[in-house]
A and B are shown apart, each in its own frame.
Chain A
């Protein structure tokens, strides 16, 4: 028969003895293990748009549609160019017919439902173009809301969509404040710009960057201090779109104006 004193002693011994090996256990985060084996991600892709240089030719939109097989006539696009015309009465007139694919040759502004608004040259205070594309946010709301994890961020910072896994609920489209997502007209799953991931991972530039004759679009690696794009981002006054949503966009703009949506 064991007495109380020995029982307590032996129990404490047992607990102490068990605790020692238990302390050796640690819950591993698989990503942490991966990071231990190799260097931290060599690349973090970022984009730089110089709106001062954009002339609204639309070659980037054209090149993107062809490269990424978005049906040419479909009214959706991975990248687009917006035209801003600010008149003397302080109003801003914005349009992007066909995503700016065919350039902005006419002076009139598209106002939807097939209607246009004529704007006289002498009424214009300022006018400029703003190219748009996926911001590859560091805190992407689209990745957060996907119910099946079909959209995800890669280690080098690009948000991708798995066409074989997407259920087509559209929650990511709703969750994106920038309106970059849409349903692919052929595959019927969520679709968006991915910085031409198939090209940049092979050392090429994106289709839109290659198509831009004015150097308004540039892609770079923010983890490389010697990268000319990184030099501009860290030394010059750059802005981002819709900072208030806390998405931490990775597309940087030069020469943005307060009218830009």
Chain B
């Protein structure tokens, strides 16, 4: 069977070689990079612009952005038919291709996030290493830990006030430099689609900007939801531990801090959501108004075949409902959870409607292609390009976050 034939159903006249070649993993790719960029922008709001209320979530989103980073290229690797040659994109880039910039942008961004994290956590590394050194009878695990933290200090042991001030300045500079790079990382994912002149739905110069805005929206949403989940877990832990250590913060204190952070962060989410929807609607109106050759087929896809996934799920459930949920006064945690989950669904559906919707019609403009996502894997291909492949990509950042959190504790103050 030909690659793509398994999940493509053709209707009317489609060129013989046309199939839905870019599938669920290519939906996951912009979704995941969007989360990376969004989480970073959120942390930068505190580090660069000094939005004090975001302090609680800033460090958290920075670490989370780091955990998401390796996952951004996972869907690409899973999608390649020759994944063992994937490294060639970095080794022999062909610079007229939008994808060729990936290696450079991705590495630059990765280095910025890693070095920013180092400056944020340097004091923690030094303190932990010094503490571990004092252990009288170190076990093997403790010795390994000491080795790790000693390595992480990179030999910079100075934690005087003056040195820490310098660290903070470095963090500010790196976070500032990171914002354009994060936007570029994601904007160029939009460029990959927007520059395909052969695809009538994708080709628009607005694509990179739309991608950036929805990226920030999804990144903030994911940070909020993960933040809430970890805070809830902490509340349980603290309530249990307080029996032994009464000095820990009470559940109420944690709760009020939590809702405050969530409310402020949600405001930024709404702001970027408005930008994103405005641009998307502008694009739609413009296409309808100019009505060039491709509009006939695009209209039948947008208002016909994909109506439910575009207008009901993406704009309705994914944008309008959370918009109302967040704007209603007296935001509660439960409502915030519902809102952010819906926002994430909305952004995911936006990626879906761009990637799959862009291949829902033939370039002959005379036929349609329907996509059937493979659920149960019965071969490597149906795993990689199917539901479970996508799930693997979606779960990995949380697993990574759990490991990274062991070295870079996100909630250090109360430990």
Q: Does A19 contact B (CB under 8 A)?
A: no
Q: Does B12 contact A (CB under 8 A)?
A: yes
Give residues 149-184 of A contacting B (CB, 8 Å): 149, 165-171, 173-183
Q: Is the CB of B16 within 8 A of A75?
A: yes
Give residues 1-48 of B contacting A (CB, 8 Å): 1-5, 9-19, 21-22
Residue of A nearest to B101 (CB): A147
Q: Which of A80, A166, A170 contacts B16 (CB 8 A)?
A: A80
Q: Does A244 contact B (CB under 8 A)?
A: yes
Give residues 329-375 of B contacting A (CB, 8 Å): 362-367
Q: Is the CB of A189 within 8 A of B364?
A: no
Residue of B nearest to A142 (CB): B198
Q: Which of A76, A149, A171 contacts B17 (CB 8 A)?
A: A76
Q: Is the CB of B196 within 8 A of A145?
A: yes
Give residues 257-282 of B contacting A (CB, 8 Å): none
Give residues 27-47 of A contacting B (CB, 8 Å): none
Q: Which of A149, A179, A188, A244 contacts B18 (CB 8 A)?
A: A179
Q: Does B132 contact A (CB under 8 A)?
A: no
Q: Does A146 contact B (CB under 8 A)?
A: yes
Q: Is the CB of B80 within 8 A of A149?
A: no
Q: C-beta contact mask, A68-86 vs B, less than 8 Å → 1, else 0?
A: 0000001111001010000
Provide the residues of chain A in CB contact with B196, threshold 8 Å: 145, 174-175
Provide the residues of chain B in CB contact with A111, threshold 8 Å: 11-12
Provide the residues of chain A in CB contact with B81, threshold 8 Å: 167-170, 183, 188-189
Provide the residues of chain A in CB contact with B9, threshold 8 Å: 112-113
Give residues 174-207 of B contacting A (CB, 8 Å): 192, 195-199
Q: Is the CB of A96 within 8 A of B16?
A: yes
Q: Is the CB of B22 within 8 A of A147?
A: no
Known: A112-B10, A168-B82. A77 touches B17 (CB 8 A): yes
Question: How far does the alpha carbon of A244 sit from the alpha carbon of B294 in the complex, in Å?
Answer: 12
Q: Is the CB of B89 within 8 A of A167?
A: yes
Q: Is the CB of B88 within 8 A of A167?
A: yes
Stretch in B91-99, B227-235, B246-254 with 4+ CB within 8 Å of A = B91-99
| A-B CB contact pairs (8 Å), 18 listed | A75-B2, A96-B13, A112-B14, A144-B97, A148-B94, A166-B82, A169-B79, A171-B99, A174-B199, A179-B18, A179-B362, A182-B3, A182-B17, A182-B19, A183-B81, A188-B81, A189-B81, A245-B198
Known: A169-B80, A174-B199. 9 other contacts (CB 8 A): A148-B89, A165-B92, A166-B82, A168-B85, A169-B79, A170-B79, A174-B21, A183-B21, A246-B197
